[in-house]
Structure 1
């Protein structure tokens, strides 16, 4: 696997925590929501009822003269993005700034850094065969081979990185060469309209947060991704279908509820994985983004457009609720 492909895997892996996209031409998964058992559906419904801002991929936050358009994105290509791209394009006509998780210059910096120092993904001591059972290692070796990664290379990689690699169904591997998600499309429009584009966080934020995850939780993340290929495809189809239904909170909750039944993890282990990823990769980043959004509003004149993975929108620690706590009034808008 080339270093550039490795960089794209990392970018995609970070995107997985904030809603990935399925290539329908290559994968054949099914939406899993109809398969929920009665008790599972009841749990999803109950948790949805307690969650702020469960749906909507475009919201407007207003506080006095300050206006922020908040857009939930997916990071890879899907032809159904053509409509939202066309409808959202006018937002950039009078926008002062477009804020993205990672703007183009930072993406290039990240790829160059990964290419020059792939050791950032390697275990400093030991190997995955030492940390997993023999059966788990054999499953992992087969899964990596399906993604064109030799086992001897994967054996030395950090578990968090391997889990991201495995979370992408093997039928999607060609998508790693594409770069046409909603965030990239909006950035291209902003460039045409001479709207500055800035990053919400330093390029290495996600990498540092994953690297800080305890080793036991990282190994659980690997186990969570060792589901059969058809299950991985179904999970991805569920995510993408709920995205285009603008049901981002439901997407996350369905995955959490189904994981103990569809993956090798027990319920307690699944809870640890989701709690760890949600806390580090979503909640902590959301809180860090709020000062960036507020500072951008203060330092510019005109509306701000902030586009980021749709999973960051909902919940008590979601960007929408955090802005409401800052005194903004929220209004759902067409997507």
Structure 2
């Protein structure tokens, strides 16, 4: 909706929670940029829609790749099993005035909900902020080789320039952990400025949380506060470096990427975001198609599929409990968690839930 990318295709970080982003990742970025004294201030992203600019043949290829993916369109869904109900919204983790329309659409569902689920609630975000403040080694490697030592000269110069545009001086970037650098490259400078601006609402997730708190509805996290750190714990040094190399080519047009992803999200073209990233990586990453596909498979497994499976039990257990008092459950999480054979919607369907789209 997030997070990092093992290839150019993992550029939809804001939709993960992404992925890769997902809110643990967004809270991490926001805290980190504050620690690095990034320039704050509202900013409006300007750029061109890269999908609209593609040749017809390329758009046709992307459309074909998306067509057979289950639940590839739509951000508003409801799952029912007996009297139990789960209303779901695929979120976008950055500020946009159009989120208010989505929240208005969900007002009745939220009012009637027993609980609101998000990837990370206020308690988890506070715990993450505390951990980052107390332990800089979560993002900074104080002992290992620096990034200038791990990358060649051209790669390091490109990286240091791109990170400077994102508020991180070279002396800090040099010691950053590779997964965090790759994640940062997936977010445009204008988005970072918007996110760190005073009064920024933090995206649809935060708006939902604020509204739930105003209604005295409990907010529950789908996963622990430190999930973002465990996602990358098993990567080899080569895989870590490849994350950066794969992310670098598109860093220069990240604002265009931001516009492209935002437009696709508000059209409901959720899986188009993922497949556009794949074809963009084919063309620009310098990797073979097979290498891109392999890294995408790894990213999807780590950033989405494993987490999706872990979310099903808490969602369904809460819905069954809420049904006993005639209520439902509302859940908001990165939109890229919705589609696919291992997406939340298909997993619920396989578990005996009836799934219907609410926004199309």
**Would you say same fold, with TM above 0.5?**
yes
Q: 2:259 aligns with which of 227, 237, 254?
A: 237
Question: Which aligned pairs between 1:220-235 and structure 2 lie closer than 5 A?
Answer: 220-227=242-249, 229-235=251-257
Q: 2:115 aligns with which of 75, 79, 97?
A: 97
> Is 1:332 aligned to residue 350 of structure 2?
no
For residue 185 of structure 1, report the CA deviation from its aligned partner. Answer: 0.8
For residue 242 of structure 1, report the CA deviation from its aligned partner. Answer: 0.6
Distance 2:252 2:166 in 1: 15
The residue number in structure 1 matching 2:345 is 320
Aligned-residue CA RMSD in angstroms? 2.4
Deviates most, 223-232 or 183-192: 223-232
> Alignment length, in residue pairs?
324
Question: Which aligned pairs between 1:1-335 and structure 2 lie closer than 5 A?
Answer: 15-18=17-20, 25-37=43-55, 39-123=57-141, 124-177=143-196, 178-227=200-249, 229-300=251-322, 301=325, 302-334=327-359
Distance 1:186 1:168 in 2: 23
For residue 224 of structure 1, report the CA deviation from its aligned partner. Answer: 2.5
Give the 3 Å change call, closer, same or farther, for CA 121–19 of structure 1 in structure 2: closer
For residue 18 of structure 1, report the CA deviation from its aligned partner. Answer: 4.8
CA contact (8 A) 1:66 1:297 kept: yes
CA contact (8 A) 1:217 1:273 kept: no
Distance 1:334 1:95 in 2: 19
The residue number in structure 2 matching 1:3 is none
3-state SS in 2 of match to 1:16? coil
Deviates most, 181-190 or 37-46: 37-46
Task: Report runs of 4+ in structure 1 exceeding 4 Å deviation.
Answer: 11-14, 18-21
List alignment gaps of at least 5 residues for structure 2: 1-12, 27-40
For residue 189 of structure 1, report the CA deviation from its aligned partner. Answer: 1.1
CA contact (8 A) 1:226 1:264 kept: no
List alignment gaps of at least 5 residues for structure 1: 1-10
3-state SS in 2 of match to 1:293? helix
Give the 3 Å change call, closer, same or farther, for CA 88–249 of structure 1 in structure 2: same
The residue number in structure 1 matching 2:7 is none
3-state SS in 1 of match to 2:342? coil
3-state SS in 2 of match to 1:279? helix
Write out per-residue CA displacement over residues 178-221 of structure 1, whole angstroms, 9 at most, x where no aligned residue.
33311111111111111111000111112211233333232222
Give the 3 Å change call, closer, same or farther, for CA 151–25 of structure 1 in structure 2: closer
Give the 3 Å change call, closer, same or farther, for CA 149–264 of structure 1 in structure 2: farther
CA contact (8 A) 1:235 1:255 kept: no
TM-score w.r.t. length of structure 2 = 0.83
3-state SS in 2 of match to 1:304? strand
Write out per-residue CA displacement over residues 216-274 of structure 1, whole angstroms, 9 at most, x where no aligned residue.
23222212221255522222211110100011011111111112223444433322332
Distance 1:187 1:79 in 2: 16
For residue 292 of structure 1, report the CA deviation from its aligned partner. Answer: 1.3
Distance 1:222 1:298 in 2: 43
The residue number in structure 1 matching 2:4 is none
Write out per-residue CA displacement over residues 127-183 of structure 1, whole angstroms, 9 at most, x where no aligned residue.
212221111011111112222212122111211001111211223331232333111
3-state SS in 1 of match to 2:98? helix
Distance 1:93 1:285 in 2: 27
CA contact (8 A) 1:223 1:265 kept: no
TM-score w.r.t. length of structure 1 = 0.89
The residue number in structure 1 matching 2:29 is none
Distance 1:176 1:25 in 2: 9
